[in-house]
Amino acid sequence: MKKNIKLIAMLVLALFAATMASGCAGTKKEDASAKYPTKQVNMVIAFTAGGSSDVQARIVEKYWKKHFNDQPLVFDYKTGAGGQVGFTEIVKAKPDGYTVGGINVPHIAIQSLSNQATFKVDEFAYIAQVVADPNLLVVKADSPIKDLKGFIEEAKKKNGKLTVGIVGTFTAHHLALLQMEEILGIKVTPVPFTGAADQNVAVMGGHIDAMIGNLNDVMRDLAKFKLISLASEQRHQWVKDVPTFKEQGYNFISDIRRGFAAPKGIDPAVLNKLREGFNKIANDPAYLEDMKKIGQPEAYLNGDEFEKVTNSYLQTSKTLVDKYGLVKK
Amino acid sequence: MPSFDLLMQGFATAISPENLFFAFLGALMGTLIGVLPGIGPTSGIAMLLPLTTILPPTPAIIMLAGLYYGAMYGGSTTAILVNIPGEVASVPTAMDGYKLARKGQAGPALATAAISSFVAGTLSLVGLTFFAPTLAGFSLKFGPPEYFALMILALSVVVNLTGKSLVKGLIAGLLGFLIAVIGLDPMSGYARFSFGNVNMMSGIDFISVIIGLFAVSEVLSNVETHVVDVYKAKLTGLMPTLKDLRQITPTMLRSTVIGFFMGLLPGCSPGVTAFVAYDTEKRLSKHPEKFGTGILEGVAAPEGANNATTSGGFVPLMAFGIPSGPALAVLLGGFMMYGLQPGPTLFEKNADFVWAVIASMYIGNVMLLILNLPLVGLWAKLVRVPYPIMAPMVLVFSIIGAYSVRGKLFDIGVALFFGLIGWVMRKVELPASPLILCLILATILETSLKQSLSMSTGGLGIFFTRPISLTLITVALVLVAFSLYTRFKHPEKASEALAEESE
Amino acid sequence: MKKINLYMSIVLSALSVFVMVESKKMPAEIAGLGMGPGVLPFWLGAGILLLSIILAVESLLDKRSPKKVFNISEIKNMGIMFLALVLYAISVDLFGFGISTLLLVFFLVRRLGKYAWWKCGTIGVIVSSVSVYLFRVLLEMPLPTGIVGF
């Protein structure tokens, strides 16, 4: 009996060694760009699984195989530090085209301005923008504040004590709030939250007076909110009766963009393949249908345009950050 | 009762072969994920999320939900058998469960965990079924000041977890806080104690710390003593006796109430409520000194509470789309992928789906009980697997668990570092539980404190002028005063514990 | 225990002073925030300092005879084990998860249980193959492959 076990054990060991040896021999380099992709592509997501960025990327994954040689897209969550960890991961990855990732603007622009920055905006190779999610000024459904005029009056009456929720400080929302204060000529008390979900609850529960929120996050609890004004050029088709700041005479435009990028230094031919593939995905009617279902305002831009948008955000952020002395010394 | 009719319709959907199969699959995988230390429901659900692109919504969500509550059943197993909690929520279970196993009562301990999980899970489902819309309003009453007060209340537990030296226990708690502070400040984005390292900036994940303090340090501590077989004691029966059951019934019921109501609040993860329930039982018990020496109440309380919390958490998730913990946040992502927007409209627009999922949770709990009770015998036999084989296996799975949370090798390093720290802490008798509890609570505590101060533009008065937060803080202070009083009034109990530890 | 508590309080005091100094360097206030990032760490440091002073006083007043806590052979055994784990952490990235796990399990089983080498090897192969299959293949978790590719 004992001998048998020993024999089997040896056999297992031998078999194992054999498979390992054969496995190692199989890896050989091939012409990279022409056949790209020849293996799975890693998708770095800088926010938690199940978050808005992840959900959007999952929709992309649904159509990925069709346009990329039937190779899988493998998700790699590198979360933390408001996305900075994941963004840094993309920049530092090997630029062989097998690591791409989701990026958010203006997050990357603001983070690159910090003196604790771990990347620069020009270290990304931009593939495509897929979402432009406008900011809104929102109050509770039964709030005494009825419209933008009422909001401004209330803010002036409370003399700076009106509380407005934002997600984090030194973030897209924070800058939007500063911008709004300046344009509307008011002063309010910002109350930062760690995420859209808890911010939504604080407004619903009446713990804060108003908030700056994204359309995507506000859509989840539409019945509980009153949407005061939209910070975009035009009204949005999902909330047609919500006026923009612009049409009321305040030139306040603010949104969050989601897109995809690879590390800089990627083979231009591979980058082109990625850009083409994303272009095709973004124009697939089924994809557009899915995007509507998950409530994300679809807005495709190609890589070059996306890069330009990012750089313009970088300029705006720089002005605001300098003005309010937000860069940490 | 309209919800009863709706629930019956839900059952009609849930018992279709396909849905039954996925409920079973979810429960089974949940148990496995619970058993494996480190791999928690969060990474489990995240890993299975891609399946949602293949399956229709009802079976997919049924499966993911099953995985979530199933994990709470499995989490106690390794906590009891090898003193390595499979789940954050099973950290308190290890305190009494492991001692029971060493006394040869692994069977009753495991069975108690399963029964308590079932009773609490099912009772809180009844709460979920009939009061979901009403209860949902409850979590809205909680603004930042109330959360801060709630965290203070939870912190008052620390005093009772300190073991024989109050000072050392408090030091351990503060160290836990300090670990939580590492990384970017969630409010200002300022990097604290990260020394310019991006990995440090993202903070220390508490899963890695738990794996280090429990799993790695367990192996490090045992190599030196060459404990080859700690389970020399004979197994005395597999099931708890009727007397045992009668004894733990009040514990199960109280823990259900605690777990369910705290579960309604975002931020109160099963890990927190398990600690609170354990502490409550210790306070209410006629023999508090026996807690920590291996009694069944010490297993029933945290296991009941963590299961009640999982059911409770579905109330704010479905009614508002507020996840009360990271695992439910991932599950919320699953909802979103189907375009199912949680919120008040979910119960109206997608009633079939919601009630089918709730009904499947009743079925899933029964399945888990049937699955787990016979397994008790099998698991209890596992203690016969020699420690030198069991320990490395558990360790490897723990390390994978640490890695799986964020997919970073840095976290493996963190786990090893805390393994070393844990070894030293055992030596100098710094207790690990206060550290873990403070580590879990710290972020919400700091965040809600800062938010409250922003709301009040700097004044602390905000905590004492709002009725709920005032009540909670008062209760916390009374409890702390009471604990300190009994502690100094009965120093002999402390010396008893001393004798216990120097065995 | 007496001596150990004293040493511990010295180490903790040093740590807390470091924490307090570091947190004083953080900005005390950030526009729009009720409390700067450095406030909480500062008070944590202060709390630990206070408690470790109490601990030091307690242990100096303690009349019981000191118990030996650390002994050399224990530390040596633990050190070897810890070193093995550190090497494992490094080798996972370098040589791949599977092969490193195989070696680690082999080492641990052999050291803890002193079984025959083939028994340890078999357990190593089984544990590493099962975990690779379960996590990398079945659950598509990107476990590092390293240069060996397993």
The DSSP element (H or E) to which C94 belongs, if any, is helix C72-95
Give contacts of C121 with chain A, Cβ < 8 Å. 9, 13
Q: What is the pLDDT of residue A22?
A: 44
- Residue B79 · residue B90 · CB < 8 Å: yes
Instruction: Give CA–CA dist A13/C121, Å, rounded.
Output: 7
Could you tell me the CA-to-CA distances from B230 to B41, B61, B82, B85, B213 in Å, in that order? Answer: 30, 42, 10, 18, 20
Q: Name the residue facing A202 among B143, B187, B341 (closest C-beta).
A: B143
Residue A226: other Cβ atoms inside 10 A = 17
Amino acid at A140: K
Can A38-132+255-323 and A134-248 be said to share one CATH topology?
A: yes
Instruction: Give CA–CA dist B140/C128, Å, rounded.
Output: 48
- Report, in angstroms and rounded to the nearest whole number, the Rg of chain C calculated over CA atoms: 24
Bridge partner residues of A124 (DSSP): A263
Nearest alpha-carbon partner for C128 in C149, C108, C92, C99? C99
CA distance C99 to chain B (A): 13
Q: Which residue from B minimizes the CA distance to A59?
A: B337
Tell me whether residues A194 and B447 touch, CB distance under 8 A.
yes
| CATH 3.40.50.720 at A134-248, yes or no | no
Question: What confidence tens digit (pLDDT) does each residue in A73-119 have?
Answer: 888 877 777 788 889 889 988 888 888 999 998 888 888 887 778 88
Bridge partner residues of A157 (DSSP): none
- Under the banding of pLDDT at 50, 70 and 90, the label for residue C130 is confident
Any idea how long chain B is?
503
Q: Which residue from C minimizes the CA distance to B223?
A: C112
Q: Which residue from C minimizes the CA distance to A177?
A: C32
C4/A27: higher pLDDT: C4
Q: What is the pLDDT of residue A11?
A: 55
Nearest alpha-carbon partner for A193 in A220, A216, A174? A174
In degrees, rounded to 5, the angle at the alpha carbon of residue B208 between the alpha carbons of residues B215 and B28 is 70
Instruction: Give CA–CA dist A135/B269, Å, rounded.
Output: 31
Q: Which residue from A minimizes the CA distance to B344?
A: A221
Q: What is the DSSP letter of A81?
A: G
Tell me whether residues C113 and B404 touch, CB distance under 8 A.
no
The DSSP element (H or E) to which A191 belongs, if any, is strand A189-193
What integer is the mean pLDDT of A19-48? 65
Q: Which residue from A minimizes the CA distance to B451?
A: A191
Amino acid at B5: D
Please provide the average confidence, as pLDDT, over all residues in chain B: 83
Instruction: Give CA–CA dist A57/A101, Å, rounded.
Output: 9
Q: Which residue from B minimizes the CA distance to C110?
A: B388
Instruction: Give CA–CA dist B446/B401, Å, rounded.
Output: 27
Q: What is the pLDDT of residue B224?
A: 53
- Tell me the domain boundaries of chain B: 10-501
Q: Look at residue A16 and tell me whether its pLDDT is greater than 60.
A: no
Q: Which residue from C minimizes the CA distance to B177?
A: C44
Considering only A206-215, A294-303, B297-306, which range has the smallest mean pLDDT?
Answer: A294-303
Tell me whether residues A174 and C140 touch, CB distance under 8 A.
no
Could you tell me the CA-to-CA distances from B442 to A84, A183, B43, B144, C124 in Å, in that order? Answer: 22, 37, 22, 14, 39
Complex ipTM, two decimals?
0.91
Give contacts of B202 with chain A, Cβ < 8 Å. 78-81, 84-85
Q: Find residues 143-162 of chain B whose CB sits inside 8 Å of chain A.
A: 143-144
Q: What is the pLDDT of residue C65?
A: 64
Instruction: Give CA–CA dist B161/B231, Å, rounded.
Output: 26
Q: What is the DSSP letter of B503?
A: -
- Tell me the domain boundaries of chain A: 38-132+255-323, 134-248
Instruction: Give CA–CA dist B264/B147, Å, rounded.
Output: 12
- Under the banding of pLDDT at 50, 70 and 90, the label for residue B197 is confident
Question: What confidence tens digit (pLDDT) does each residue in B402-429 have?
Answer: 887 777 788 899 999 999 999 999 888 8
Give contacts of C30 with chain A, Cβ < 8 Å. 169-170, 326
- Residue B396 · residue C127 · CB < 8 Å: yes
Q: What are phi and psi of B407, to 5 degrees?
A: 65, 35
Nearest alpha-carbon partner for B62 in B406, B355, B443? B355
Give contacts of C99 with chain A, Cβ < 8 Å. 20
Question: What confidence tens digit (pLDDT) does each residue in B69-84 have?
Answer: 988 888 888 888 888 8
Instruction: Give CA–CA dist B347/B128, Å, rounded.
Output: 13
- % pLDDT > 90, chain A: 31
A45/A326: higher pLDDT: A45
Q: Look at residue B61 and tell me whether its pLDDT is greater than 60.
A: yes
Pairing outcome for strands A73-77 and A41-45? parallel
Give contacts of A324 with chain B, Cβ < 8 Å. none
Instruction: Give CA–CA dist C39/C33, Å, rounded.
Output: 12
Q: What is the pLDDT of residue C48?
A: 94
Sequential DSSP letters for A106-144 = THHHHHHHSTT----GGGEEEEEEEEEEEEEEEEETT-S
- Under the banding of pLDDT at 50, 70 and 90, the label for residue B503 is very low
What integer is the mean pLDDT of C130-146? 78
Write down the CATH superfamily of domain A38-132+255-323.
Answer: Bordetella uptake gene, domain 1 (3.40.190.150)
Q: Name the residue facing A192 among B187, B330, B345 (closest C-beta).
A: B187
What integer is the mean pLDDT of B345-350? 77
Which stretches does DSSP call E strand in C20-138?
none
- Give all chains having 3 or more CB-to-CB distances under 8 Å with chain A: B, C
Structure tokens at B26: 């979810």
Sequential DSSP letters for A51-67 = SHHHHHHHHHHHHHHHH
- Mutate which of A166, A191, A290 to disrupt the B interface (most B C-beta within 10 Å)? A191
Residue B19: other Cβ atoms inside 10 A = 21
Residues contacting B241, CB < 8 A, separation 6+: B108
Cα dihedral across residues A301, A305, A307, A308: positive or negative? negative
Q: Look at residue A26 and tell me whether its pLDDT is greater than 50.
A: no
Highest mean pLDDT among A5-9, B209-213, B323-327, B491-495: B209-213
Q: Find residues 46-75 of chain C whose CB sits inside 8 Å of chain A.
A: none
What integer is the mean pLDDT of B135-161? 83
Q: What is the pLDDT of residue B495?
A: 47
CA distance C37 to chain B (A): 6
What integer is the mean pLDDT of A158-177? 86
CA distance A145 to chain C (A): 23
Q: Is the peptide bond before B50 cis (omega within 30 degrees of 0)?
A: no
Nearest alpha-carbon partner for B186 in A169, A111, A118? A169
Amino acid at B22: F
Considering only A194-198, B21-25, C105-109, which range has the smallest mean pLDDT?
Answer: A194-198
What integer is the mean pLDDT of A213-224? 83
Maximum distance among all alpha carbons in chain C? Answer: 66
Instruction: Give CA–CA dist A156/B58, Å, rounded.
Output: 50
Give contacts of C69 with chain B, Cβ < 8 Å. 427-428
Could you tell me the CA-to-CA distances from C114 to B219, B286, B485, C102, C126 in Å, in that order? Answer: 15, 46, 51, 17, 18
B490/A171: higher pLDDT: A171
3-state secondary structure B411-459: HHHHHHHHHHHHHHHHHHCCCHHHHHHHHHHHHHHHHHHHHHHHHCCCC
Q: What is the pLDDT of residue B490?
A: 67
Q: What is the pLDDT of residue B172?
A: 93
Residue B232: other Cβ atoms inside 10 A = 8
Question: What confidence tens digit (pLDDT) does each residue in B291-341 have?
Answer: 888 889 999 999 999 999 998 888 888 877 777 777 888 888 888 778 787
Sequential DSSP letters for B322-339 = --SSHHHHHHHHHHHHTT
Any idea how long chain C is?
150
- Mutate which of B43, B48, B151, B184 to disrupt the A interface (most A C-beta within 10 Å)? B184
3-state secondary structure B359-386: HHHHHHHHHHHHHHHHHHHHHHHHCCCC
Any idea how long chain A is?
329
Question: What confidence tens digit (pLDDT) does each residue in C91-119 have?
Answer: 988 888 889 999 999 988 888 777 888 88
- Mutate which of A12, A110, A212 to disrupt the C interface (most C C-beta within 10 Å)? A12
Q: What is the pLDDT of residue B156?
A: 85
Q: What is the pLDDT of residue B378?
A: 78
Instruction: Give CA–CA dist B273/B88, Å, rounded.
Output: 11
Q: What is the pLDDT of residue B138?
A: 74
Q: Look at residue A8 and tell me whether its pLDDT is greater than 70.
A: no
- % pLDDT > 70, chain A: 88
Pairing outcome for strands A99-105 and A210-214? unpaired
Give contacts of C129 with chain A, Cβ < 8 Å. 16
Q: Look at residue A323 and tell me whether its pLDDT is greater than 70.
A: yes
Please provide the average confidence, as pLDDT, over all residues in chain A: 83
Instruction: Give CA–CA dist A114/A170, Å, rounded.
Output: 9
